[in-house]
Structure 1
Amino acid sequence: MAEPLVVVVGGANVDVKARTTAPLVDATSNPGVVLRSPGGVGRNVAENLARLGSRVALVSTVGNDPDGDWLLAQTAAAGVDVAPVLRGGATGRYVAVLDHTGDLAVGVSDMAATDSLGPDALDHDLLRAADLVVLDGNLPATTIDAALDVADRVVVDPVSVAKAARIAPLFRPERPVFAVTPNAHELRALGSVAALHGHGVEVVWVRRGAEGSELHPASSGPVWLAAPVVDPVDVTGAGDALLAAFCHALLRGVSLEDAAAYGHRAAALTVADPHTVVPDLSARMAR
């Protein structure tokens, strides 16, 4: 039997992360460490899935530039099928400044490449062949709309309050969505758990950071899950690991609650690691 296929549609960019080695002081230079790593919500989710052992293809776009070459090579080396990734323009970048505790102080996104990923970038046959499709809320609303028309089982990560508000009108009962994974602020932009259920969303997974999360299946009552306690090193990518591990576990037949708990373990390992995606994630999850 073939390994289940996950198709991730979303952003791929280069992350530049600067972390101070002492408490952050505004409006001046701070001593610290600066690292470059592969990034982008969609790309991070795809790499986490591949490192956990899932068969995954990435639909994205990167530039015809050295950053794009490097990003594709790094992503393919992790086990992701990057054949559907388009080339053109300049590769996106995300710059994050973290304080000495690993918490995000400020971030700047240059997502023009992802903004250009229109509906014609979608391979309908690939989406139909997928056992699960993950959509990154950074995509244009028209692209998410087109993907929802084609794919059978979809998970949508709203990504931010602004993006959540943009995609809220896309959920309709006549084309059900398997899961939406907002944080509390994004949920308010989407409406409410009840509203999302009414618009055809089967599972609403409300993420509350270090506190944990709430699973809201349409068919039963809510379930609260605590997050593992961890000393943070770098919070970047934790939500992407959470989502990827959740999807990976679901495709292996575990319950929603167990899949969400598996996601929390992956997020905890990511927060405690300096990498955006933990390089030996599968081995560490098995311990």
Structure 2
Amino acid sequence: MALTEREREIVALLRTDPLLDAAALAERVGSTRAAVSVHLSNLTRKGVLLGRGYLLRAEASSVLVVGGAVLDAKVRTRVRPVLGTSNPGTFTATVGGVGRNIAEGLARLGSPTMLVAPVGDDLQGRTVVARTEAAGVDCRHVVTSPHPTGSYTAVLGDDGDLLVAVADMRATDELTVADLAVVPGLLGGVDRLVLDCNLQADVLRWLLTAAATAGIPALVETVSVAKATEAAPALDGSVPVHTVTPNVDELAAMLGRPVDPDPASVAAAAAVLHERGVEHVWVRRGAHGSLLSIARPGHPARVVLVSAPPTTVEDVTGAGDAMTAGYVHALLGGAEVVEAARFGQVVAALTCASPDTVRADLTPALVAAHLTPDAPSTEELSA
């Protein structure tokens, strides 16, 4: 829901003089103090005013992320893994969740970010919120779930590649539209919406509709093959979607048919999502980089291959979330989508080279130091 005309008038006055109180604002706009107090309350709920003293949200472009927040456990073998027996290895635990990871990545890159995610009324949930807030994310609107805080357990081989993962996402799986009633109001104070496919299809469609109504571009992060399959009905062409970010297997799951990994086949599959209202289909291809398919009304799709910069893989956990965070951050800064994809590829490579799901030292300067004109490079495919 966008700001009302009166709310925009009050915001303009507060940007000029942040010390104006409700009485002074009422006199300026020709209203009553009680009415202005209601407007101020609504602006706080929408995330435009931050706390007391009418501190305004920064004019920098901002983003709202709705999705999962969990405790991550990562187990990594020290030797080549052997199934069906015990393997020597290491264990680490940290905060995670696709939506939460994206939100932290955005905040560490300097984009003002709000997170709406479910956590249980338990120590794990309080830990997730505290650590996410410490990274700079606004967590005032997290949802308290009757279920325990979610968990994600990943088993990695000695080379850092994912072997298998198990996620308990009941808190997110059972979110309802009623649980997320705050979101349409928050959309009036942000510039982008990011959703992860841990959300049910009907909830996802409702959120996409709310974003379209507010005129806010929405990105959908597909999460996994299972979640992409469940979310596919939400992308039925009834509402526009700015970007969807599957890997090749997740793209196949959304279409309900196999997709060969070669660029021509991936591009053809992406065209089906364009027909379903998706403007940009950004397909992750691992070490081969990514394929970005761009649909413009009245024009054939533009297909661009974005290479992956060379990196030493320490841990792939969170790389896809990092790509999304980098892409959205670059778009918020005014980058064209291909440049945003290049930026995202570098953030993903930096994340793979770190043992952390979200690098604690992630900054725009770190990314810029690795974003040379040739790394990663792009190649356009002919139509």
- Corresponding residue SS for 2:107: helix
Which of 59, 74, 90 is matched with 2:148 structurally? 90
Which of 119, 128, 137 is matched with 2:177 structurally? 119
User: Which has the larger share of helix?
Assistant: 2
Which range moved further: 101-110 or 234-243? 101-110
- Corresponding residue SS for 1:214: strand
Q: How does 1:132-171 map to 2 (within 5 A)?
A: 132-151=192-211, 152-171=216-235
User: Which has the larger share of strand?
Assistant: 1
State the distance in 1 between where 2:234 and 2:319 align.
Answer: 26
Query: 1:158 deviation in Å?
Result: 1.4
Which of 151, 159, 179 is matched with 1:101 structurally? 159
- Tell me: CA distance 1:70–1:274, structure 2 relative to 1, closer, same or farther (3 Å): same
1:51 aligns with 2:124: no
1:205 aligns with 2:269: no
Q: Quick check: which has more Rg, 1 or 2?
A: 2
State the distance in 1 between where 2:220 and 2:61 align.
Answer: 18
The one-letter amino acid of 2:289's match is G
TM-score (norm 2): 0.73
State the distance in 1 between where 2:337 and 2:278 align.
Answer: 14
Structure-1 residue corresponding to 2:10: none
- Corresponding residue SS for 2:272: helix
- Greater length-normalized contact order (CA 8 Å, ≥ 6 residues apart): 1
Is contact 1:60–1:117 with CA below 8 Å preserved after alignment? no
Is contact 1:128–1:150 with CA below 8 Å preserved after alignment? no
Which range moved further: 195-204 or 55-64? 195-204
Is contact 2:243–2:280 with CA below 8 Å preserved after alignment? yes
Structure 1, unpaired ranges of 5+: none
Which of 251, 263, 266 is matched with 2:344 structurally? 263
Q: Which runs of 4+ in 1 moved over 6 A?
A: none
1:286 aligns with 2:368: yes
Structure 2, unpaired ranges of 5+: 1-57, 256-268, 370-383
C-alpha distance after superposition, 1:84-106 (max 9, x if no partner): 10123311111111111101112
Which range moved further: 189-198 or 153-162? 189-198
Is contact 2:201–2:232 with CA below 8 Å preserved after alignment? no
- Aligned CA RMSD, in angstroms, stands at 1.3
Is contact 1:180–1:203 with CA below 8 Å preserved after alignment? yes
Structure-2 residue corresponding to 1:177: 241
Is contact 2:284–2:291 with CA below 8 Å preserved after alignment? yes
State the distance in 2 between where 1:23 and 1:189 align.
Answer: 30
- Corresponding residue SS for 1:3: coil
